[in-house]
Amino acid sequence: MGGSAYIDESEWIVIPNTHEPLINCEQFEAVQEKIKQRATRVFRGRGRKSLFARVAFCADCGAGMNFKNDRQSYVCSTYQKNTSKKCSSHIIKHDALKQVVLANLKDLIDNSLNMQSLVDVTIQRAGIKKNSAVKELE
């Protein structure tokens, strides 16, 4: 990286307070920290590899969800390892998890499509305004 593409901070044009930040700096830091912690948690992949085996994590303890072939389900690996009460099984059927993920992806796609059409409309309107301004000047 670096070279000509890099623009020095002194060259930035900053227009503050033009919109509400989605999250503040502390929240951002906290989220980054959480992602880091989760990433460094060792995934002890017992059980067969499967679609969500290294993607799904237990919401309670943050451990990976292991796939249980015999039940076509995922269980919290902490629960599976200890079978004690360190965490509950949080068992979820592969199909159920897949449905949830697909539904979320669909929402995401729908929303981004809406965003795109919003952008298109805005550009179109801006174009019309520009054209009429040009005509007026002529």
56 binds Zn ion (CB under 5 A): no
87 binds Zn ion (CB under 5 A): yes
- The token pair at 43 is 């995934």
Could you say which DSSP state residue 63 is in?
A: P
Question: Which residue of 41, 45, 61, 101 would you call a contact of Zn ion, by CB under 5 A?
Answer: 61
Q: Could you tell me the maximum CA-CA distance found in the chain, to the nearest angstrom?
A: 81
58 binds Zn ion (CB under 5 A): yes
55 vs 105, beta carbon nearer Zn ion: 55
Smallest gap from residue 102 Cβ to Zn ion (A): 24
Residue 109 backbone zone (phi > 0: left; psi -120 to 50: alpha; other: beta): alpha
60 binds Zn ion (CB under 5 A): yes
- The token pair at 112 is 């981004």
* Phi and psi angles of residue 115, each rounded to the nearest 5 degrees, phi first: -60, -45
Smallest gap from residue 90 Cβ to Zn ion (A): 6
Residues in the site for Zn ion, rule: CB under 5 A?
Answer: 58, 60-61, 76, 78, 87
